[in-house]
Amino acid sequence: MTATSPLILLLADAFSLRGTSAYTLRLAEQLPQHDFRTRIVCPCARMVKLDRRDELPIQEYPHLLTPLWGQLVRRWMLTDVCEDPPALIHIQSRRVLPLGTWLAKRLGCSFVLTVHDFLQPRECLPFSATWGRRIITVSDAVQAELLQRTKLRPDLISVIPSGVDVPFEPPRPVLEPNRTPVIGTAGPLEAVKGFPYFLGAAQRVAAAGNPAEFLVAGAGPEEANLRRLARELQIADRVTFVPNVLDLTSSLAAMDIFCLPSLRQGLGTLMLEAMSLGRPVIASDVDGVDSVVHDNETGLLVPPSNSEALAQRMLELLRDPFRARRLADAARENVRRDFSVARMAQQTVDVYRSVLGQP
């Protein structure tokens, strides 16, 4: 990479416990290997570890997305960006699409948009046909919904699953003898993630006399309700809530079984991370999940909103550690083959080159 290498501006929302944030960081780390310079522009990056922030070209503009100060901060940001204009803007989520379109228009620069999840019931997608060149979706399910809900041409959309790093060896085998098993889940604590059904399943597993402990990693608007539900189910002493941190690797490594009880799911980056660490997965059979989890092959699927079915699957794995490890091994190999960061970056670079007219 040289000073004349094309610059990709990654326009992101404030970093938080979401697959979107991990996606941005991984892209920024990978693109220099493909002869692209990168710059991340966002309102806030304090959730990113300091050592990682020092290594990456992150520029923070506080209040960038707020109505009151946003107009002034935009002008400040535009002045900075004009000092080294990008060849292409990659808008990292729908929330920053209006800002990205504004910036593209003023720079006379094309943009690419990544869509990670589904549109809200009355949401429109203000995709500019003038400046927007391509949309990346993380799964076929997200692509299909976009085509159904909008008038976008199918050739504008490329499906590129999010990628995760796969360590050379898993941290430790799961369900080891003489160790209390840990069943966990992780993500933004929001209603659509289905965490009450995870706690309902945990209560059933505990009632069956199993000594398992339970872990909920993440933060969000539903945290207080979930803590209250754990008390009402009389399992609060067996449920640990992990604080809001961007990197959940240590929490995922502490689990023996990972559960994704979502009611809707574009793909499931944290599920992919758990699989890359050699953790067997039990997931709701919804939307983009089936592109990753094949029932009884790379994990177990359950109907959404069904604590009883989820508990039954938990008990199956607790009673058969060898089966749990077989599923974990198959899932890890699947992630290594089809959902690696390197593969995601290469496919994304192919989109960039196509938009920029590069061979």
| 131 domain-assigned | yes
The helix (H) or strand (E) run that includes residue 77 is helix 70-82
Q: Which of 269, 284, 39, 256 is nearest to 160 (CA)?
A: 269
Are 156 and 197 within one domain? no
Are 194 and 318 within one domain? yes
Report CA dihedral (91, 93, 95, 96) to the nearest 10 degrees.
Answer: -20
Are 222 and 273 within one domain? yes
Give the model's pLDDT for residue 248. Answer: 87
The count of structural domains within the chain is: 2
Give the model's pLDDT for residue 170. Answer: 79
Are 192 and 270 within one domain? yes
Are 139 and 190 within one domain? no
Length of the chain: 359
| 91 domain-assigned | yes
Note down pLDDT in tens along the chain; length 359 residues. 677 899 999 999 999 888 899 999 999 999 999 999 999 999 999 989 888 888 999 999 999 999 888 899 999 999 999 999 999 999 999 999 999 999 999 999 999 999 999 999 999 999 999 999 999 999 999 999 999 999 999 999 999 999 999 998 878 899 999 999 999 999 999 999 999 999 999 999 999 999 999 999 998 999 999 999 999 999 999 999 997 777 788 999 999 999 999 999 999 999 999 999 999 999 999 989 989 999 999 999 999 999 999 999 999 999 999 999 999 999 999 999 999 999 999 999 999 999 999 87
Are 234 and 327 within one domain? yes
Are 72 and 202 within one domain? no
Are 332 and 198 within one domain? yes
| 169 domain-assigned | no
Angle, CA 39 vertex, CA 34 and CA 40 arms, to 5° = 120
| 173 domain-assigned | no
Place of tokens 């809001």: 244
Are 333 and 348 within one domain? no
Residue 124: give its domain's CATH number.
3.40.50.2000
pTM: 0.94
| 171 domain-assigned | no
DSSP 292: T
| 285 domain-assigned | yes
Are 136 and 90 within one domain? yes
Are 17 and 136 within one domain? yes
Are 201 and 116 within one domain? no
| 207 domain-assigned | yes
Domain housing 201? 182-338
| 168 domain-assigned | no
Find all residues with CB under 8 Å of 249, minimum gap 6, and list them: 273, 277
pLDDT tens-digit map of 15-32? 988 889 999 999 999 999
